[in-house]
Amino acid sequence: MATFLMTQRPPPPLIGANRCPPLAGRADFPTSRRHLPGRRHGYPFRCDSSSSSSAPRDHPPRPRQQRPRTQLPGGRGSAVDPVGFLSKLGISDRAFAQFLRDRHKAFKDRRWELCSRFIDLKEASSGFELLGMHRHRQHRVDFMEWAPGARYCSLVGDFNQWLPTENCAREGHLGHDDFGYWFIILEDKLREGQEPDEYFFQEYNYVDDYDKGDNGVDAEEMMRRMKAEYWEPGEIRSRKSQLEMVAKLYEQMFGPNGPQTEEELGEIPDPQTRYDEWKASQKVDSSSLSPSYDIIDSGQPFDIFNVVTDRASFEKFQSKKPPLAYWVEMRKGRKAWLEKYAPTISHKDKYRIYFSTPDGALERVPAWATYVLPDAEGRQSYAVHWEPPPEEVYKWRFGRPKVKGSLRIYECHVGISGSEQKVSSFQDFTSKVLPHIKNAGYNALQLIGVVEHKDYSSVGYKVTNYFAVSSRFGTPDDFKKLVDEAHGLGLVVLLDIVHSYASADELVGLSLFDGSNDCYFHSGKRGHHKYWGTRMFKYDDVDVLHFLLSNLNWWVTEYQIDGFQFHSLSSMLYTHNGFSTFTGAMEEYCNQYVDKDALIYLILANEMLHDLHPDIITIAEDATFYPGLCEPTTQGGLGFDYWVNLSVPEMWLWHLENVPEREWSMNKIMKVLVSSNRNMLSYVENHNQSISGRKSFAEIILNSAKCPDRSVSDDVIRASSLLKIIKLVTFTTSGGAYLSFMGNEFAHPERVEFPMSSNDYSFRLANRQWELLDKGFHKHLFIFDKDVMSLDETERIISRGSPNIHHCDDTSMVISFTRGPFLFVFNFNPEVSHQPYYVGVEEAGEYQLVLNTDETKYRGRGELKSSQYVRKTCDKRYDGCRNSLELVLPSRSAQKMELFIDAINICTLVAFGDKMAKWRL
């Protein structure tokens, strides 16, 4: 069943025979909402059924018992209610409500399990600070990897001539804990003629070249000064050995002069008596500066509160400050380190990880590698140690911008962003495409295919290395510059993240990483996608959650990413991967095919991202419109900021390919467009509608107009008019966010097709024809798209309330609705122009035409004259409104009108307001 057909009827209750009526507007939605402050939340659908049973009641229902609700820590937001959003959406299904309660209990258990290992979500999402390869301050490099199924682990690479026994970690040596984390230390090599550091804790500052340690002061002299400043005379008692005190006590009790028999030992007095005897034997020496800490053994378990001390000694000890200044003096700089040591692994050195498993030896690319390159033959990749010297480290120039109001997203793929038939780079994209995005009026950039992947034909969705940018586009610093320059232009950068599945490649990816089949993924059939040949993550495993949460935090922390679109959630939320027959019934959201662990991971991901990064943007791409996608996690939702209405592009594609234009139903189109408008991201087409054999909308419309040469003819004008009104009606009905794929803003005439075996690995369709921006009707369509974006920049059209549909006629094919103070009128009729045509409006006055798709500057026919740009209302009721407008509607055209208030009317309103104020007084 087509996706867009599901949105016309929301899921019915599981119990009872009554089905929910079709969606029609937002008038019956409750207005009160409880949510976390500063977050945007929406809902994908509503069910108007108020009862979960069709049988009549014999008795009045019992009042619902009010249960205490858990308050959020720190006073954040409202109380926790696992089913809080159901009443707001009108969902009364008991089975689904019980599923939400059970899911909340499982969520609390999972969070407790996670925090018992990693303290809190911040620590659980900061694994990149420990795992992988990191420079340590004590002239060494630390490497950590998770491989519970391995029996032996080592690093092989350029730095040790690929020897698997040189730098290794095994059980009982250099760290292999009970959770399967391997730890390897790579000691820097001492240069010839240099002496090792005298103190094992000697640290080096690798950040800059300023060397405070090279001041000519000997380390022994530095330690003497430190002791002289910190300790006072008598506070330090030198001992020959740490066991000196123990030896004295042993000698006293069991030595030759100690008691030899029980009679000599005598009766042991109680602790208080022994303490008093010992205290009386001590000499009272007022000149002694040693702190007097006495412990009385009362026979109870040791407690720090049993320690008795005098106040003077305590305050004296607390007033001491550690000698940090001298400690900094002892830290040497990068120059001193380079003179004394040679790095055991240098910048851009290649390496892999070597495992010994029950099934034999394996070589893998580390799971936490931040830069991965293929070898010369392209058979097996290797990790690259990315540690540029301080003078080459990228320095961020711009801060993160903030989106005010609506979100206008420009979706891009870096590899196909150039005009040439090749893989474009980050540098090319930064210099050529970013200025165009800013000029086109978009305020957000969404990148797909950026994370490292081996198969280029997969568009980057079969990810192999989750912490690495794709090396085919450039280096990590090149990507940082791209993000930084986008921020400088005021563009927020979103990343299309794929945590719903992973590549099944065993040499590069995570599949069979440590030799076992259930390291990162489920074993058996559940661990494999039924149609895409990918692996499915094990979301109930704490270490897998640690990996995925850390991956999200890594992109925000390391690359300053502003948000994520979570790709293809339906493939992870259901064990059938979203390919089962789906009707939208509530039972399908809580039956045995729903992966509760995947839902818990999404809740954890949203809570972590929004807690650590309050301005983060998260978008859910789910074809099944799971209930509560954009509801607060405290109210039983998943916590996303926006949800993608995948029904909209499917609806347009279905109409263009299967329905003659004269038979389009305006009512069906509008039901899909405004089925649930809150926090809804809409788009006409993205890369999915023009990839791997599927045609782009421009290609479909132009071919149907029989104008392959794209000459400026009447057929081209009529075809481009359809593209304009489709784009405008989709844009003006979106719920705060709109997306357009690269090239669609000027009606790119060809689809996208990545090089693969079916096209002999050709790059002919894996690029964008930017030269069309200055040619023919493509230039005019780009001007139209730019003007639409500019209108939203100034008027905030799509961030206002939901559209109020006044007129929707299938016979005339005319749609009219208001959004805020603006009136939008669409005539989808391909042949008939309506003159005159009446539409209803509430406010009386003169309406001025602000945007007209039929203007000649947009390659329209220009049927409207300048004298027809201002229309005055009449008091004739129409469409249920108090007033009406008489309009001229050319075929295949759309108009945006605004109530016109001139200076005289403003003065009249001001004078009227003054009179009303005096009257009230």
d(CA 750, CA 691): 10
pLDDT at 47 over 90: no
How confident is the model over 452-472, as pLDDT tens digits? 999 898 999 999 999 999 999
pLDDT band at 297 (very low <50, low <70, confident <90, very high): low
529-543 average pLDDT score: 93
Question: Which of the residue ranges 52-61, 387-396, 580-589 would you say has the lowest mean pLDDT?
Answer: 52-61
Can you list the positions of beta strands (E) in 439-573?
444-448, 451-453, 463-469, 492-497, 563-566
Q: What is the pTM of this model?
A: 0.81
How confident is the model over 95-137, as pLDDT tens digits? 999 999 999 999 999 999 999 999 899 999 999 999 999 998 8
**Greatest C-alpha distance within the chain:** 125
pLDDT band at 303 (very low <50, low <70, confident <90, very high): low
- For residues 905 and 848, the answer to whether their CB atoms sit within 8 Å is no
pLDDT band at 4 (very low <50, low <70, confident <90, very high): very low
Report pLDDT for 803. Answer: 92
Can you list the positions of beta strands (E) in 327-473?
332-333, 341-342, 350-357, 360-364, 372-374, 381-384, 407-413, 444-448, 451-453, 463-469
Report pLDDT for 527. Answer: 93
d(CA 209, CA 390): 8
Q: Select the highest-mean-pLDDT range: 213-222, 881-890, 893-902.
A: 881-890
703-715 average pLDDT score: 57
d(CA 330, CA 339): 16
Report pLDDT for 56. Answer: 39
Q: Express as a percent the part of the chain with pLDDT over 70.
A: 79
**Long-range Cβ contact pairs of 428-435 (< 8 A, separation 24 or more):** 429/473, 429/482, 430/478, 430/481, 430/482, 430/485, 432/770, 433/742, 434/482, 434/485, 434/486, 434/489, 434/491, 435/489
Can you list the positions of beta strands (E) in 269-334?
293-295, 307-309, 332-333
pLDDT band at 258 (very low <50, low <70, confident <90, very high): confident
d(CA 378, CA 640): 39
> Can 621 be counted among the known catalytic residues?
yes
The residue to which tokens 């844009």 are assigned: 731
Report pLDDT for 908. Answer: 44
Catalytic residue among 621, 631, 753, 795: 621
Report pLDDT for 885. Answer: 92
What does the DSSP 8-state code read for residue 217? -
pLDDT at 71 over 90: no
Burial class of 885 by CB neighbour count within 10 A (0 to 12, 13 to 18, 19+): buried
Phi first, then psi: give them for residue 822, nearest 5 degrees: -105, 145
140-163 average pLDDT score: 92
Per the prediction, the chain carries an average pLDDT of 82
pLDDT at 331 over 70: yes
pLDDT at 584 over 60: yes
Q: What is the 3-state secondary structure (H, E, C) of 53-76?
A: CCCCCCCCCCCCCCCCCECCHHHC
Among 83, 93, 75, 71, CA closest to 11: 93
pLDDT band at 428 (very low <50, low <70, confident <90, very high): very high
| 3 state DSSP class of 814 | strand
- Angle CA 447–452–454, to nearest 5: 120
Task: Say which residue, 909 or 358, is predicted with more confidence.
Answer: 358
R_g over Cα of the chain:
35
2-24 average pLDDT score: 38
**The amino acid at 555:** W
- For residues 809 and 802, the answer to whether their CB atoms sit within 8 Å is no
d(CA 798, CA 642): 13
Beta strand 642-644 with 617-620 is parallel
pLDDT at 890 over 90: yes
pLDDT band at 758 (very low <50, low <70, confident <90, very high): confident
How confident is the model over 484-500, as pLDDT tens digits? 999 999 999 999 999 99
Report pLDDT for 223. Answer: 75
Can you list the positions of beta strands (E) in 397-536?
407-413, 444-448, 451-453, 463-469, 492-497
299-305 average pLDDT score: 57
Helix pair angle (714-732, 647-658), 10° resolution? 150
Q: Express as a percent the part of the chain with pLDDT over 90.
A: 52
Helix pair angle (714-732, 697-704), 10° resolution? 140
pLDDT band at 211 (very low <50, low <70, confident <90, very high): low
**CB atoms near residue 658 (< 10 Å):** 8
**To which H or E segment does residue 681 belong?**
strand 680-683
How confident is the model over 519-533, as pLDDT tens digits? 999 999 999 998 899
pLDDT band at 326 (very low <50, low <70, confident <90, very high): low
What token pair was written down for 209? 């070249």
d(CA 841, CA 900): 13
Residue 473: partners with Cβ closer than 8 Å, 6 or more residues away: 414, 415, 423, 424, 425, 426, 429, 450, 479
Strand partners, 878: 881
Report pLDDT for 205. Answer: 78
Report pLDDT for 896. Answer: 94
